Amino acid sequence: MWGRRRQPVDEEKRVVKDAERSRERTMNRAVKLLAAKPRSIGELRQRLLEKLWTNEEIVDAVIEKLKEYKYLDDEQFARDVAVSKLRQKPQGKRRLQQTMSRKKLDKELVDTAIAEAFEKLPEADLIDLAIEKRLRLKGLPSTLDDTKKFYDHLLRQGFSFDLIREKISSVSKGHLDKDISDG
């Protein structure tokens, strides 16, 4: 069930026998989908149009009503998702942009939300958290191969190469200085 790809419904197969009943069912489905998890307008529209008993006109009316009730707000949704993703797992701009691009949101909304999220949680602080966690799990890289794996891990997290190089060199120096002063 989880891995199933949703196929768009062929418009010719849509049958709306009772428009009022269809509107009611569509509204109920929308509320249930939003109760399960927050969604963008685009995501909700796509999920509602999966059913044969509704059509675009009904879905648009339901979405407008949900906007009036303040249940749907793409701007707020984008801000919430961006900050939430950064809090869940430290990641760089690239990775967050990839995640957000799947949410069917306007590109400017996404860019603004990402910028605001990184104002609250600066990328330099996030990479520090990612580095601390990696060091806790794997220890300080001792070979060239370990160092490359460390870099690759941080690159996969979406951090920029320059930021990674700067942080890893300071980590290495910090540990070397500490080792010399301990000895």
30-41: pLDDT as tens digits: 999 999 999 999
Q: What is the pLDDT of residue 38?
A: 94
Q: How far apart are CA 1 and CA 14, in angstroms?
A: 23
Q: What is the pLDDT of residue 175?
A: 54
**Model's pTM, two decimal places?**
0.80
Q: How far apart are CA 73 and CA 43, in angstroms?
A: 12
Q: How far apart are CA 104 and CA 106, in angstroms?
A: 7
The token pair at 55 is 């059509």
For the chain, residues with pLDDT lower than 50 are 1, 176-183
Q: How far apart are CA 148 and CA 35, in angstroms?
A: 44
Exposed e or buried b for every residue in 117-144, given b needs 16+ CB within 10 A? bbeebebeebbeebbeebeeeeeebeee
CA distance readout (Å), 18 to 21, 56, 59, 147: 5, 15, 14, 65
Q: What is the pLDDT of residue 12?
A: 72
Q: What is the pLDDT of residue 183?
A: 36
In tens, the pLDDT along 66-85 reads 999 999 999 999 999 999 99
